[in-house]
Amino acid sequence: MGVVSNWLCNGFLSALKEIAMKFLDFARSTAEWAVEFLVSRPVPKRNGAMELVDRPTNAPMDTVYDQWLTLGLPAGLLVCALSMVLLRMSVFLPSGTVSAQRARSLRLKGWFPLFFIGSWI
């Protein structure tokens, strides 16, 4: 290999190395930001101990708990009921009659969101 070929190879390798380093720096800074974001979130606590089931006593999470019970849960149940009604009404669409298996699958699809929302209670 000549001197020019050696310079080209070294330049190409150094450019690849620089691109890889920039990508790793970006990935590292993104990961650090994500960890900092997750760690800085308020944690529900009850009398200083972490609480996952009962009503928390620390300031921001107490309000979140109230909002969930007064707005989020009823809205989720309403959306689930509306989707179940719409799934039932799809039987009467002009696309024709629905087979028994299709009607059964629609009925099962309608219950899934209710169980999903119920698991958050």
Tokens describing residue 66: 């109230």
Predicted pLDDT at 66: 86
Between 118 and 79, residue with greater pLDDT: 79
**Is 64:45 a contact under the CB 8 Å cutoff?**
no
Q: Answer whether residue 30 shows pLDDT above 90.
A: yes
Question: Mean pLDDT across the chain, nearest whole number?
Answer: 80
Lowest mean pLDDT among 48-52, 68-72, 79-83: 48-52
Predicted pLDDT at 21: 95
Name the DSSP class of 91. Answer: G
Tokens describing residue 22: 């920039």
